[in-house]
């Protein structure tokens, strides 16, 4: 069977893409679109080419057309979110990315881009959780390790930062950014001549003598290292608590309301009901994970509190 003109043009575009001839691919797709303007596949191919050409406004337009013509195509929403992030339209980017992940919660690039948007909006708890989810799905994503490490470093969580810098370097040897991160984190964790970690040096020296706890009064200078460590654990527990709160408020509650509406009104297809159930179960699992993480951090904090130096 001889392919029609539109199919020939699309094949020419795909061949040009394989050769990285983006201008030729664009021309072929534009000609195909002139003959079949309602094809989501042509819009998708053209959007991808515009993205490679860094014509982001045009890329965003055609990804939007795909979401209009094929509203169940998760990759279109996720790519649209990535483009909107680069254009600085952060709130719209979040909406697109979340919709894409509702349609397919296994898309690693969706969580990675969501982390980038949240980071730019300074919503750091949500950014960290997004990068963690990306790494849960793909532990070999070096860029996610680096971004997560940078965020932990900025929060003075140097052990976590070092761990992710090292993972990034292991996955991408000789990566300058990862190597620099390893060195910076190690510097913060290296004990000084007085035996105090660099990150706690400004607080004061370790206590020279131990006394019975009943006779002790907490001294910020003498007990600086211990207090710093407890404060660090407290900050992590507080951060995890915020994450749990956000998951309940922004994911679990909306998914329950959505599911309840579908069940009460008895409207929608079986596919819609299954999608609602999937979003609810996914949100519930994230809530359980966040709750367990908070429980673990609180147990560590309680354990450390019992180790007050005597």
Does residue 51 sit within a domain? yes
pLDDT of 87 higher than 50? yes
Residue 29 lies in a domain: yes
Would you call 11 helix, strand, or coil by DSSP?
A: helix
* 11 lies in some domain: yes
Work out the average pLDDT over 78-102: 95
User: Considering the entire predicted model, what is its pTM?
Assistant: 0.61
Total domain count for the chain? Answer: 2
Give 117-139 pLDDT, tens digit per residue: 999 999 999 999 999 999 999 99
Q: What is the mean pLDDT of residues 14-29?
A: 94
pLDDT band at 206; cut points 50, 70, 90: very low
More confidently predicted of 187 and 240 = 187
**Most confidently predicted of 12-26, 189-203, 207-221, 268-282:** 12-26
Domain of residue 245 covers 226-298
308 in a structural domain: no
Q: Identify whether 123 is part of a domain.
A: no
Q: Which residue has the higher pLDDT, 232 or 85?
A: 85
pLDDT band with cut points at 50, 70 and 90 for residue 4: confident
Question: Once rounded to an integer, what is the mean pLDDT over residues 11-28?
Answer: 94
Q: Which of the given ranges, 134-148, 223-237, 294-308, has the highest pLDDT on average? A: 134-148
Of the ranges 4-8, 193-197, 225-229, 276-280, which one carries the lowest mean pLDDT score?
193-197
Q: Would residue 128 count as lying in a domain?
A: no
- What integer pLDDT is reported at residue 215 of this predicted model? 43
User: DSSP string covering the chain, please?
Assistant: ----HHHHHHHHHHHHHHTT-HHHHHHHHHHHHHH-TT-HHHHHHHHHHHHHTT-HHHHHHHHHHHHHH-TT-HHHHHHHHHHHHHTT-HHHHHHHHHHHHHH-TT-HHHHHHHHHHHHHTT-HHHHHHHHHHHHHH-TT-HHHHHHHHHHHHHTT-HHHHHHHHHHHHHHSTT-HHHHHHHHHHHHHHSB-TTS-BGGGTTT-PPPSS---GGG----TTTTHHHHHHHHHHHHHHHHHHHHHHHHIIIIIHHHHHHHHHHHHHT-S-HHHHHHHHHHHHHHHHHHHHHHHHHHHHHHHHHHHHTT---
Instruction: Give the pLDDT confidence of 126-179 residue by residue, as tens digits.
Output: 999 999 999 999 999 999 999 999 999 999 999 999 999 999 999 999 999 999
Q: What local confidence, expressed as pLDDT, does residue 214 receive? A: 39
Look at residues 51, 71, 91 and tell me which one is the last residue of a structural domain: 71
Q: How large is the average pLDDT for residues 33-39? A: 93
Q: Is residue 206 part of a domain?
A: no
Position 217 pLDDT exceeds 70: no
Each residue's pLDDT tens digit, 43-74 = 999 999 999 999 999 999 999 999 999 999 99
Is pLDDT larger for residue 37 or for residue 273? 37
Rounded mean pLDDT, 255-269: 63
Out of 71, 104, 121, a domain closes at 71
**Cα 108 from Cα 84, distance rounded (Å):** 18
pLDDT of 119? 93
Domain closes at, from 71, 92, 122:
71
Region of residue 278 (left: phi > 0; alpha: psi -120 to 50; beta: else): alpha
Poorest-confidence range of 6-20, 92-106, 259-273?
259-273
Which band of pLDDT confidence, cut at 50, 70 and 90, is reported for residue 211? very low
Q: How confident is the model at residue 207 (pLDDT cuts 50, 70, 90)?
A: very low
What's the CATH number where 55 sits? 1.25.40.10
243 falls within a domain:
yes
pLDDT of residue 285: 77
């Amino acid at each position: 069977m001889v392919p029609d003109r539109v199919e020939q043009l699309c094949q020419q575009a795909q061949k040009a893409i394989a050769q990285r001839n983006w201008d030729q691919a664009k021309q072929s797709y534009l000609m195909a679109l002139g003959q079949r303007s309602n094809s989501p596949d042509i819009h998708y191919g053209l959007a991808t080419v515009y993205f490679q050409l860094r014509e982001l406004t045009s890329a965003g337009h055609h990804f939007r057309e795909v979401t209009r013509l094929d509203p169940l195509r998760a990759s279109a929403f996720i790519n649209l979110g990535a483009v909107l992030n680069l254009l600085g339209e952060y709130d719209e980017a979040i909406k697109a990315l979340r919709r894409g992940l509702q349609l397919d919660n296994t898309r690693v690039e969706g969580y990675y881009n969501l982390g980038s948007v949240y980071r730019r909006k300074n919503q750091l708890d949500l950014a960290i959780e997004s990068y963690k989810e990306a790494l849960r799905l793909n532990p070999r994503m070096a860029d996610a390790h680096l971004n997560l490490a940078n965020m932990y470093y900025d929060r003075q969580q140097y052990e976590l930062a070092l761990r992710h810098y090292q993972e990034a370097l292991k996955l991408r040897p000789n990566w300058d950014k990862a190597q620099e991160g390893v060195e910076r984190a190690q510097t913060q964790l290296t004990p000084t001549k007085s035996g105090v970690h660099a990150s706690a040096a400004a607080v004061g020296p370790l206590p020279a003598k131990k006394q019975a706890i009943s006779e002790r009064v907490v001294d910020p200078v003498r007990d600086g290292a211990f207090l710093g460590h407890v404060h660090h654990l407290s900050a992590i527990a507080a951060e995890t608590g915020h994450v749990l709160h956000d998951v309940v408020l922004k994911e679990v509650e909306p998914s329950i309301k959505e599911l309840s509406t579908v069940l009460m009104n008895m409207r929608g297809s079986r596919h819609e009901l299954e999608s609602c159930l999937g979003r609810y179960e996914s949100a519930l699992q994230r809530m359980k994970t966040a709750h367990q993480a908070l429980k673990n951090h609180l147990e560590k904090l309680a354990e450390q509190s019992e180790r007050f130096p005597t």
